[in-house]
A and B are shown apart, each in its own frame.
Chain A
Amino acid sequence: MNWLTQVFAVALFNLRSLPERKGAAVSAAVGIAGVAAVLVGVLAIAQGFRSAMTASGAPDTAIILRSGADSEMTSNFTREETRVISDAPGIARGANGVMASNELFVIIDLPKRSTGTSSNVPLRGVGVAAFDVRSEIAMVQGRKFELGKNEVIVGAGAARAFSGLDVGQSIKIGMNTWNIVGIFTAGGGLAESEIWTDAAVLQPAYNRPEGYQSVYAKLTSAEAYDEFKDALTTNPQLKVKVARLSDHYAEQSTSTTDFITTIGVFIAAMMALGALFGDLNTMYSAVSARTREIATLRALGFGAGPVVISVLTESLALALCGGLLGAGLAYLAFDGYQAATMNFQTFSQVTFAFAVTAPLVLTAVVGAAVLGLVGGLLPAIRAARMPISSALRESA
Chain B
Amino acid sequence: MSSLVQIKDVTKTFHRGSEDVPVLSGLNLTVAKGEFLALMGPSGSGKSTLLNLIGGLDRPTKGSVSIGDDRVDQLSERALAAWRARHVGFVFQFYNLMPVLTALRNVELPLLLTHLNKAQRREHAETALKVVGLSHRLKHYPRTLSGGEQQRVGIARAIVTDPTILLCDEPTGDLDRKSGDEILTLLQTLNQEQGKTIIMVTHDPHASARATRTVHLDKGQLSTAQPE
Contact = CB atoms under 8 A, between A and B. Distances in A.
Interface of A: 2, 5-6, 9, 13, 16-17, 20, 292-293, 296-304, 387-389, 392, 396
A300 B96 CA distance: 11
Contacts of B209: none
A340 B90 CA distance: 69
A381 to B, nearest CB: 14
B98 A300 contact: no
A292 B96 contact: yes
A300 B94 contact: no
Interface residues of B, number: 29
Given A387-B58, A389-B57, A396-B94, A300 B113 contact: yes
Nearest to B90: A299
Contacts of A16: 100-101
B57 A13 contact: no
Interface in B61-96: 77-78, 81-86, 90, 92, 94, 96
A296 B100 contact: no
B55 interface: yes
A385 to B, nearest CB: 10
A303 B82 CA distance: 8
A13 B81 contact: no
B82 A301 contact: yes
Contacts of B81: 298, 301-304
Contact of B57 (A5, A303, A388, A396): A388
Contacts of B113: 2, 6, 300-302
B32 interface: no
A303 B85 CA distance: 10
B100 A300 contact: no
B57 A299 contact: yes
B112 interface: yes
Contact of A300 (B49, B52, B78, B110): B110
B52 A389 contact: yes
Contacts of A299: 55, 57, 84, 90
A9 B112 contact: yes
B99 A300 contact: no
Given A292-B94, A296-B96, A296-B98, 11 more contacts: A2-B113, A293-B96, A296-B92, A297-B109, A299-B90, A301-B81, A301-B113, A303-B78, A389-B48, A392-B92, A396-B94
B115 interface: yes
Contacts of A300: 84-85, 90, 109-110, 113, 157
A293 B98 contact: yes
B77 A301 contact: no
Contacts of A292: 94, 96
Contacts of B99: 17, 20
B86 A392 contact: no
Contacts of A293: 96, 98
B156 to A, nearest CB: 13
Contact of B58 (A5, A17, A389): A389
A135 B114 CA distance: 69
B101 A13 contact: yes
A300 B112 CA distance: 10
Contacts of B115: 2
Contacts of A2: 113-115
Contacts of A6: 112-113
Contacts of A304: 77, 81
A336 B115 CA distance: 55
Residue among A296, A300, A304 facing the most chain B CB atoms (10 A cut-off): A300
Contacts of A297: 109
Given A16-B100, A17-B99, A301-B84, A9 B109 contact: yes
B81 to A, nearest CB: 5
Nearest to B84: A301
A304 B79 CA distance: 12
A50 to B, nearest CB: 48
Interface in B108-127: 109-110, 112-115
A341 B94 CA distance: 65
Interface string B35-61: 000000000000011001001011000
Interface string B6-19: 00000000000000
Contacts of B114: 2
The 4 A-B pairs of least Cβ separation, nearest first, read: A301-B85, A16-B100, A296-B96, A389-B52
Contacts of A389: 48-49, 52, 57-58
B5 to A, nearest CB: 17
B47 to A, nearest CB: 12
Contacts of B101: 13, 16
A16 B57 CA distance: 27
Nearest to B51: A389
Contacts of A296: 90, 92, 96, 98
Nearest to A301: B85
A352 B101 CA distance: 54
A302 B80 CA distance: 10
